[in-house]
Amino acid sequence: METLALGNQGLQVSRLGLGCMGMSEFYGETDELESLSTLNHALELGITFFDTADIYGYDEDGIGANEKLVGKGLRQHRQAVQIATKFGSIRNKTQHLGYNGKPQYVKQACEASLHRLGTDYIDLYYLHRADPDVPITETVGAMAELVKEGKVRYLGLSEVTPQQLADAHAVFPITAVQTEYSLWSREPERGLLNACRKLGVGFVPYSPLGRGFLTGTISSRSQLTQGDWRMYNPRFSEEAFEQNINIVHGIQQLAQQKGVAPAQVALAWVTAQGNDIVPIPGTKRVKYLQQNVAALSIRLTPEELSRLNEIAPVGSTFGSRY
C-alpha cells in the first residue's frame, strides 16, 4: 500500500488508516478474536495507521478497553505501525460527562493511554475535543511537553474550528486534524480543509462511510441492534432516513455502473479530495476491511465526481451529526 506524509511535520502513514472504535463499543455486539484477526489482516494488507481513543470501550477497569485491544493486536509490530489515540472527553459507563483540557490532566491522560496500549510512545496524540473552559493554547502547551519528553511524537486536534487550529498551531506545530467527513458530512469544506492546507496540517476523516449509512446496507432503523448508538443519532431517525436515502440511491446507481460496492464509491470520493487526506474507515470485520482497501484502486472521473457532488451538496444532509 502507498504511504504518504500526513501533514508536513514528518509523520508517514499508510494511504488508508483503520478506525478501531467499533471493535469495542457503539456498533452492536463485539468479538475480540474477530477484532484481533481484523487488526492482523490490516497489517497484511499494508495498513500501518491505527486510530483509537481513551474513551472507546469500557471494562472492569473503566475506560480504555479499545486501547488495550489495539495494544494487544499491534504490540509485536510496534515499530512498523503508527498508533493514534485521543484524550479530553470524559465519560462513565453510560454517559458523556464533559471535557478536560487542563494542563495537569494532559500528562495524566497520556500516562494512562501509554499503559493501556503497552507502549512507551504514542505516534499521534489528539485532543479529542477542546475544553470550552480551558484555552486550547494551554492544553496544546501541555501536549507539547509530552513531545519534548519523548512520550508523544506528533500532535493532533479533533473537531476544531479553523481559529482553534490556528491558535493551537501557533503554540506548537499541529500534524493532523481529525473530523467527520464524507458525502453526507461535508462541513469541513466550509473552511477547515483550507485552514489545514494553509498551515500544512494533514486531514484525517473519520466515518467516511457515513457511519455505515452510505454503504447501502442499512435501509431501516430496525436493522440496528441493541447497544448500537446510531439508534439515538438524529441522522438515523425515521424522518432522516426518508430525507437522506436519495444520497444512498445515487451512490448505488453509480456503483452498479462501475461494478463496485457503494461503500467503495463513497470511500473513493473521500480519497479523491486530496493526497493530504487519510481516511480511517472503521470496521471490526475482515470482509469490510478488504472492501475498503480495494476502494483505493477505484478512480472516479471528473464527471463522476461532479455527479456525486450534485447528489450530496454541502449542507444537504438532513439531521445533525450528533
CATH code where residue 37 lies: 3.20.20.100
pLDDT of res. 228: 75
121 is catalytic: no
pLDDT of res. 93: 87
Let me know if residue 84 belongs to a domain: yes
- pLDDT grade, residue 293 (50/70/90)? very high
- pLDDT grade, residue 238 (50/70/90)? confident
Domain enclosing residue 82, as ranges: 3-207+270-283
Let me know if residue 215 belongs to a domain: no
Give the number of domains in the chain: 1
| Least confident residue range of 5-9, 82-86, 214-218, 277-281 | 214-218
Let me know if residue 119 belongs to a domain: yes
Cα angle for residues 109, 16, 90 (degrees, 5° grid): 20
Q: What are phi and psi of 19, to 5 degrees?
A: -80, 125
**Segment 40-65 mean pLDDT:** 96
Let me know if residue 213 belongs to a domain: no
**Reported pTM:** 0.93
173 bridge partner residues: none
Let me know if residue 252 belongs to a domain: no
pLDDT of res. 115: 98
**Segment 108-117 mean pLDDT:** 98
pLDDT of 255 > 70? The answer is: yes
CB 206 within 8 A of CB 282: yes
Let me know if residue 312 belongs to a domain: no
pLDDT of res. 220: 67
pLDDT of res. 198: 98
Catalytic annotation, pick one of 56, 105, 126, 288: 56
CB 50 within 8 A of CB 70: yes
pLDDT of res. 229: 64
